[in-house]
Amino acid sequence: MFKRIKMTKPKLKVDKSIAVVGSSASLKKSNYSQEIDKHKEVVRFNRAPVKGFEEYVGKFTTLRVVNNHVFDNIDITSKGFSNQPKNFVKDLRNEKILYIGPDIGPWHRRKSNTDNSNRLHLFDYSKISNLKDIFDIKSRNNLQIGTIFICICILSGLKPKLYGFDLEPIPRTHYFEDRPSSINDSIHTIEQEMKLLKDFKEKGLIFVR
């Protein structure tokens, strides 16, 4: 059964059997790959790869949710990130992609940013204040795209199952690379977003593995 995801255009439909796979290195200590693959919908973020990590993260992706620099094919290796191929989005074929970002510029460049075989969707960022009000999010900072996507899933009547999301205030990690320790996360309110997800879990709005 499909649900239409609110605040997206053109309207995005996803299956109710949905696994939302984060990028935490904790996935490499788990054994969730087969469980993830049992879902009809598997969502991944930005350039998080599957190839070479199937035993930890599963084998397929039905929806890729990306932020501005990934959708714009920006090279971030100079900032110390590894395993972040510049043209990741440009090289995708026959994929469903949701762009979430406060900058509409990358979306206007979508014909050059992506292959025309991909199905593209846009989160209506003009609704971000409404989303924060609905979930009583006080932060003025940009929310992480994972948090935004989980919120719009809940708003649309879905109960997503989360994998690879850290809900405790520990250093951020990625399962596929060494994340630079010098990166400043001040544009987000990580601990507040973790608390939000913990609240969702306690209220039974999401499953967390």
Q: How far apart are CA 98 and CA 122, in angstroms?
A: 6
Condensed to tens digits (0 to 9), the pLDDT of residues 161-193 reads 999 999 987 778 899 987 766 555 555 688 899
The SS3 of residue 32 is coil
Q: How far apart are CA 39 and CA 34, in angstroms?
A: 9
Contact of 157 with 122, CB cutoff 8 Å: no
Mean confidence (pLDDT) of the chain: 94
The pTM of this model reads: 0.94
Q: How far apart are CA 107 and CA 112, in angstroms?
A: 10
The residues spanned by each domain of the chain are: 2-208
* Euclidean distance between the first and the last CA atom of the chain, given in angstroms as a whole number: 23
pLDDT at 77: 85
> Packing angle between helix 145-155 and helix 190-202, nearest 10 degrees?
30
In this prediction, residue 94 has a pLDDT band, given cuts at 50, 70 and 90, of: very high
Q: Is pLDDT of 75 > 90?
A: yes
pLDDT at 198: 97
CATH topology of domain 2-208: sialyltransferase cstii, chain A (3.90.1480)
Q: Is pLDDT of 101 > 60?
A: yes
pLDDT at 186: 53
| Burial class of residue 131 (count of CB atoms within 10 Å of its CB; 0-12, 13-18, 19+) | buried
Q: Which of 41-55, 69-83, 140-154, 189-203 is the least confident region? A: 69-83
Condensed to tens digits (0 to 9), the pLDDT of residues 22-72 reads 999 999 999 999 999 999 999 999 999 999 999 999 999 999 999 999 999
